Amino acid sequence: MKMKLSRRETLASMVAMAGAIGLGRDAAWAHEHGSGLHHAAKSKGMRFGSAVSAGNEQSGSYRNPQYAKLLQRDCGMLVAENEMKWQALRPGPDAFNFGPFDAIVAFAEKNALAIRGHTLLWHRPQWQPAWLEAYDFGATPVREAERLLTTHIKTVTDRYRGKILSYDVVNETVLEDSTLAQTALSRAIGGTETLVDLAFHTAREQLPDAELVYNDYMSWEPGNEKHRAGVLKLLEGFKKRNVPVDALGVQSHIRIDTYDPSTGTGPKQEREWRQFIDEVTAMGYHLLMTEFDVNDQALPADIASRDQSVAAYAKGYLDLMFSYPQLKDVLAWGLCDNYSWLQQFQPTRTDGQPKRPCPYDSEFKSKPLHTVLAQAFASAPAR
């Protein structure tokens, strides 16, 4: 995604105690009897999951009892929203802070949930730790850059060996103009391709059987043409250079930037998007949907009609993506509206209302988007 800010601990809405108890019973029943989105996905050989934080009880965290019940009911896998990124995990050149992510892993293991690794390298200068962008690479910058990167990947993958079998090795190195991002690390090592190739090779040496993913936010809305082209060029380069990349992570932050009253939703480039996915899969890459949500910023204020428009827009996207047998894992970037990163992402809605991008609202009630997800799994061809 373009921005991931501090965890969304504002706009929390508390449900009544009776509702919380009911939610807990529903979650337990779902696990025992096989309901919920993950079980709908599992019936087709797929998996459904969500991002989660290690924040407090008023956030989209496993520490929040109501939110934890949703995770238990609907998810078969989790991904840390921020806790595995360099900014959180590596506060200094020779320091690692594993506590928050360890806690997420412990919750996942306790609840028999798989966990994805996100990310071993978020290659944008604004999302690198400040110390890394200002780092003195010394008289042998290539060697020092290699050491910093490989030490990070080896340390993380060693710690979670056997626990994480799918990693977003590199995140968002393609800019929207189709060029590759540059950072202090890439400049020191001799270029972005050299850097990301080393990241994947190191991950493969560490994890011969893991799924190694390149993850990015190119999408199907107008204005993404150059971004899509840049991602295709990167993926083609991986193949030519024999870089061990297994899959493309399609973040799937779809958005309604402008409202079309005739359709009730927003514009999309369905034909061009299908062509893009066809080209990716033709190269032999698998697919993941890694960060799904629907930005409703341009829709009218009425909540009922807004939720229906979000669901309708999502249905077209989900049905298209689910038609590809190369797609097995689908993760939402959060389950509840009030904890979504989009609440603090600019631009906000002009009417000042909170966005409604998730399967559940701020009172932990399922929305039409949840229904559409379940229907998409039901309609998907079996893997």
pTM of the model: 0.91
CB distance 83 to 55 below 8 Å = no
pLDDT, mean of each 10-residue run, the chain (383 residues)? 38 32 43 76 98 97 98 98 98 97 98 98 96 98 99 99 98 99 98 99 99 99 98 99 99 96 93 99 99 97 97 98 99 98 89 97 98 98 97
Judge whether 10 lies within some domain: no
Token pair recorded at residue 44: 């087709």
Cis peptide before 100 (omega within 30 of 0): no
Q: Give the model's pLDDT for residue 4.
A: 39
Judge whether 286 lies within some domain: yes
Alpha carbon distance 24, 33 (integer Å) = 14
Judge whether 7 lies within some domain: no
AA identity, residue 26: D
Alpha carbon distance 190, 173 (integer Å) = 15
Judge whether 4 lies within some domain: no
Q: Give the model's pLDDT for residue 346.
A: 80
Can you tell me whether residue 8 is helix, strand or coil? Answer: coil
Judge whether 6 lies within some domain: no
Q: Is 282 buried (19+), middle (13-18) or exposed (0-12) by CB count in 10 A?
A: exposed
Please report, for the domain that includes residue 307, its CATH number: 3.20.20.80
Judge whether 2 lies within some domain: no
Q: Give the model's pLDDT for residue 34.
A: 58
Q: Count how many domains the chain has.
A: 1
| Domain hosting residue 21, numbered range | 17-379
Judge whether 275 lies within some domain: yes
Output the CA torsion sign for 239, 223, 175, 333: negative
* Residue with tokens 């030490």, as numbered in its chain: 151
CB distance 283 to 325 below 8 Å = no
AA identity, residue 78: L
Judge whether 51 lies within some domain: yes
